[in-house]
Homo-oligomer: A and B are copies of this chain.
């Protein structure tokens, strides 16, 4: 076995061919990155998901799968859907605040004490 096996081949205890699908995205110096996606999706599914997209998109596939796997392990019930829920609530909260402040500012301008300057928005 080569000493430059990728993290996937190292963990699966197999030879790492030069055209290994995992090699560019799961380097041997970060075994946890592969370990996470392996645990959630299984190596074979990760390989399939990498293979079904263009080569220049595979880095992003590996990154987003790692992100999702990391949050699924951290939060086994909601995974990264929990983050989406929090972000939805946060956006909604800030939008409400914005609507309130905008209503207040509209009221001030309606009192015609200031000249409206739309470039300020």
Q: State the A residues within 8 Å of B (CB).
A: 40-42, 44-45, 49, 52-53, 57, 60-61, 63-65, 67-68, 72, 76-84, 87-88, 90-91, 94-95, 97-98, 100-102, 104-105, 108, 113-114, 120-121
Q: Tell me the complex Cα distance, A67–B77, Å.
A: 12
Give chain B nearest CB distance to A102 CB in angstroms.
Answer: 6
Given A41-B40, A45-B40, A120-B104, the answer on whether A80 and B94 have CB atoms closer than 8 Å is: no
Per CB-CB distance, the 6 closest pairs between chain A and chain B, nearest first, are A64-B81, A87-B87, A94-B94, A98-B98, A91-B91, A57-B77
Q: Tell me the complex Cα distance, A53–B77, Å.
A: 7
In the complex, besides A68-B81, A83-B84, A100-B121, 11 extra interface pairs with C-beta distance below 8 angstroms are A41-B41, A42-B44, A60-B77, A60-B78, A64-B81, A87-B91, A97-B98, A100-B120, A104-B105, A104-B121, A108-B114
How many protomers of this protein does the assembly include? 2
Given A49-B76, A80-B80, the answer on whether A105 and B94 have CB atoms closer than 8 Å is: no
Set of chain B residues within 8 Å of A91, measured between Cβ atoms: 87, 90-91, 94
Give chain B nearest CB distance to A78 CB in angstroms.
Answer: 5
